[in-house]
Amino acid sequence: MAQTDEDVSEAALVAALEASGGVGFWMWDILRDEARADPVSALLFNISPARSRAGVSLAELLEAVHPDDQPHISQVILDCVRTGGSYTAEYRVCSPEGRLRWLFTRGHFYLDQDGRPSTGRGVIVEISDSKSAGTAFAKRDGATIDDALSRTADLCLSLHDTVSQLRDTALVALTETLLIEIGRRLADRQRTERGDALH
């Protein structure tokens, strides 16, 4: 049976993960509380791609986070939202069928000229194969994006958002390919840093 844009199933998620290399991205209009994500990110959080394009609330996305991981992850994200800045995190999400997957996320939140939270964007990488056990974590990375790779990710997310308004599928595909590669490098760097910290 063919999958549709409304499907939220293990099969739809596996297909999206294979197509994306396990990397996704999201954008959040904080004032409207409307988060939008690519298909792989939406499906990882049990949201259909069609619903994600229309915008869903942060609370709805967080419902997919494992109950043991949710309080700390939510607190770090909300702290960054209030004051602006970046975070990195690793945590588990639960599929509708009950399967647990580990995610690495890197996000940044912006304030408007009056100091109010305005927008956020970030990258998600599914890392279950390299992290079958361990503890979830989330940490603030600071108010500014200091390193070149994270700045590149943020600029590419902004570029993707702008290019999407052109409705040029070829250009959108190119920015998504770049985002996937950047996401992989962010996840690889995080794994290396975590491995070094354990030795």
104-166-5 Cα angle (round to 5) = 55
Q: How do the domains of the chain map onto residue ranges?
A: 10-144
- pLDDT per residue as tens digits for the range 159-178: 887 888 888 989 988 988 88
CA distance 98 to 191: 25
- pLDDT per residue as tens digits for the range 55-103: 999 899 889 999 999 999 999 999 999 999 888 899 999 987 888 999 9
Predicted confidence (pLDDT) at residue 145 exceeds the cutoff of 80? no
CATH T-level assignment (fold) for domain 10-144? Beta-Lactamase (3.30.450)
CB 90 within 8 A of CB 131: yes
